[in-house]
Structure 1
Amino acid sequence: MKSISVPKGKKVYFASDNHLGAPTQELSLPREKKFVAWLDAVKSNAAAIFLLGDLFDFWFEYKTVVPKGFTRTLGKLAEISDSGVPIYYFVGNHDLWMNGYFEKELNIPVYHKPQQFKINNTTFFIGHGDGLGPGDKGYKRMKKLFTNRLAQWCFRWLHPDLGVRLAQYFSINNKLISGEEDIHFLGEDKEWLVQYSKRKLKEKHCDYFIFGHRHLPLEISLSESSSYINLGDWISYYTYGEFDGTNFSLETFGK
């Protein structure tokens, strides 16, 4: 379990589900500028920043090529990382295919599975959230295909102009990929990530379970000392999490 210390006056920040590039680069540009403005606003007092996936609506790393665009976001992340603020990235279902670019170019570690962190004396279980819990069976089958090395090798042989365009089309139009089958709260007994968190809590205590993926800002008590948090998104809500070393809260940027 990785430990992070939060000095007095500093905070740890969490954000997820920007889906930059959707539905088009041009239409997502205002959202990208707003996200970069948020990064500018928090960088001075950030002890760490966690990005919980789907920063891009599609991302695939060829050996010598990455998708065009997102210059403002990548440049700002590089600036913050270079300043000494640690940034942690968890891949989502739209950016499963990260393979070293963030680590080499931005010095940002990338995680493909949920991880536990101890921040001050508080324990966090952190991940994007796709494919977890008892449901989401259609996507789980799809994910097995997406993460298959042979399938990735075959896709890499497509010219990037064709491969990226094809993937963007399916990313926007296929609900199994987009994760937008349910855009309203289903109730605790039907929320897969709530059920997953409760099951993990029986195995080991954790103060906060932090996820994205659902696109809904949610705060649900799992026990007297444990909570499930969904961060919402940067499409409809512009919500993010902040932890001051003692307390966690969901906030909205640009109210």
Structure 2
Amino acid sequence: MKVYFASDQHLGAPTQEESFPREQKFIQWLDEVKKDADAIFLLGDLFDFWFEYKTVVPKGFIRVLGKLAEIRDSGIPIYFFVGNHDLWMHDYFEKELNIPVYHDNKDFTFNGKTFLIGHGDGKGPGDMGYKRMKKVFTNPFSKWLFRWLHPDIGVKLAQYLSVKNKLISGAEDVKFLGKENEWLYQYCLRKLESKHYDYFVFGHRHLPLEIELNENSKYINLGDWIGYFTYGVFDGEKMELKVYKEA
């Protein structure tokens, strides 16, 4: 079997024009993995900003959305986990693409191996500034207020903050300083105290990481599609990270 994982494409950043080559590269990857994929997991921040009004979604990204629709229509399951940049996703993917959307971690089992999968933002100790901000952004009243902004104003404002605000962009958190300083590593250790998982798979960190938690469990971070172009694949026996190189 082949189960594929990818995260943090940040399409639209810093502009749609500049991210277009990365979008094309990601679509090429989707075209390749669809040949043998049993499932595809997208772990958030596919877009650098996404907000669903009742009748409007952000302009652009038609090629990647069309590719996801094609793959899903062929019968291959796709699962989407919202990230901190597209946390205002509602039901557009579910209604238009038949892709389930998850707003928190979820358990999966493949070929007897157990996975805990999610974007990874706001998990573990620390990061208190972002955690407070996320509570504000996910508050129904905050979303209701933002929805009253005209899309031309709301989207432009959100795109600006997405790039400039370090709490949102994660720009201050891109160095590996040892596993003891990795919040997601600490989070995985705590989760193992109550339940066994063979693999913890997250995004958000923008660093490709494979860290042993114990002899039977591993934490994997998928990296990103900005500088690393890394993805994960589970072949029914083991999970590993790979770098996508265009044919």
Q: State the match for 2:196 in structure 1.
A: 205
Q: Deviations over 1:21-45 (max 9, x none)?
A: 0000000000000000000000010
Q: For the residues of structure 1 that align with 2:216 and 2:240, how far apart are their CA atoms?
A: 15
Relative to the length of structure 2, the TM-score reads 0.99
Partner of 1:178: 169
Amino acid at match of 1:42: V
Query: What is the match of residue 49 of structure 2?
Result: 58
Question: What corresponds to 1:238 in structure 2?
Answer: 229
1:180 positional shift? 2.1
Deviation beyond 4 Å, 4+ runs, structure 1 = none
Query: Root-mean-square deviation (CA), in Å?
Result: 0.7
Residue 179 of structure 1 and its aligned partner are, at CA, apart by: 1.5
Residue in structure 1 matched with residue 103 of structure 2 by the alignment: 112
CA–CA distance in structure 2, aligned partners of residues 200 and 125 of structure 1? 10
Q: Distance in 2 between matches of 1:237 and 1:84?
A: 29
1:144-201 CA-to-partner distances (Å, cap 9, x unmatched) read 0100000100000000000000000000000000122121102111100000000001
Matched, 1:187 2:178: yes
**Structure 2: gaps of 5 or more residues:** none
CA-to-aligned-CA distance 1:93-142 (integer Å, 9 cap, x gap):
00011110000000000000000000111000000000000111010010
Q: 1:148 aligns with which of 139, 150, 157?
A: 139
CA distance in 1, matches of 2:179, 2:244: 27
State yes or no: 1:72 paired with 2:72: no
Alignment partner, residue 98 of structure 1: 89
Aligned to 1:7: none
CA distance in 1, matches of 2:170, 2:118: 15
Matched, 1:250 2:241: yes
Amino acid at match of 2:137: F
The letter of the residue matching 1:134 is P
1:132 paired to 2:141:
no
Which one of the candidate residues 14, 26, 48 is aligned to 2:5?
A: 14
Find out whether 1:25 has 2:26 as its counterpart: no
The answer for the alignment partner of 1:216 in structure 2 is 207
Amino acid at match of 1:35: F
Q: Which amino acid aligns with 1:216?
A: L
CA distance in 2, matches of 1:115, 1:54: 17
- Find the aligned partners of 2:173 and 2:92 in 1 and give their Cα distance: 32
Task: Give 2:148's match in structure 1, choosing from 134, 157, 180.
Answer: 157
Gap regions ≥5 residues in structure 1: 1-9
Task: Give the letter for the 1:196 counterpart.
Answer: Y
Give the secondary-structure state (helix, strand or coil) at the position aligned to 2:191: helix
How many residues align structurally?
A: 246
Aligned to 1:227: 218
Aligned position for 2:113: 122
Q: Distance in 1 between matches of 2:72 and 2:127?
A: 35
CA offset digits 1:44-79 (Å, max 9, x no partner):
100000000000000000000000000110000000
